[in-house]
Structure 1
């Protein structure tokens, strides 16, 4: 039996020596990108690019609308000034003193005090 134990002990030593003699394989993993990952990155890039284009076009549209709005406000303001000036001119031209002066000087009309009626 001693022989058998000795043989087993020998086998174990040989196996441990073989394990020590074996050098572990060095596995070098390269940073390889798979086709699926490339497709996902490309899709994300296209999505971000599309979102950026949409944002820029929306900002351009908003700028154009605001520019048109400012122009319309300026036009309305100018027209309001013109309207106010015309109202003042109408008020000046409708003044009774002015009408009386034109009637007397240019048309030779006179006022007949007896035919004037005051209505209240």
Structure 2
């Protein structure tokens, strides 16, 4: 399927650009952004997968749960730690830059559900 057939809401597009930019200019910000994406802890099951199993489309939980288990087994929450262990000492400017990029990404994430709802239910 061509990439143009996919629709990514603006928040996802912008967050992807922030991650790309951070990877090039601020390793600390990149590690923080990866941490946001990978999470911090793993319960026994994916909470979204558990909800999907109770929905009208329980088979939709399979992919979500498989992805969750891959992340859990690979200990993906530790990936940012591996980046930070390799970094030299950082200055205040670097910390502030990383915090700003992280804050924007968190804000974008917090609006994803609303944006997706508006897009798929055509609410303006």
| Pairwise TM-score range, normalised by the shorter structure | under 0.3
Q: TM-score, normalised by structure 2?
A: 0.23
TM-score, with length taken from structure 1: 0.24
Structure having greater relative contact order (Cα 8 Å, sep ≥ 6): 2
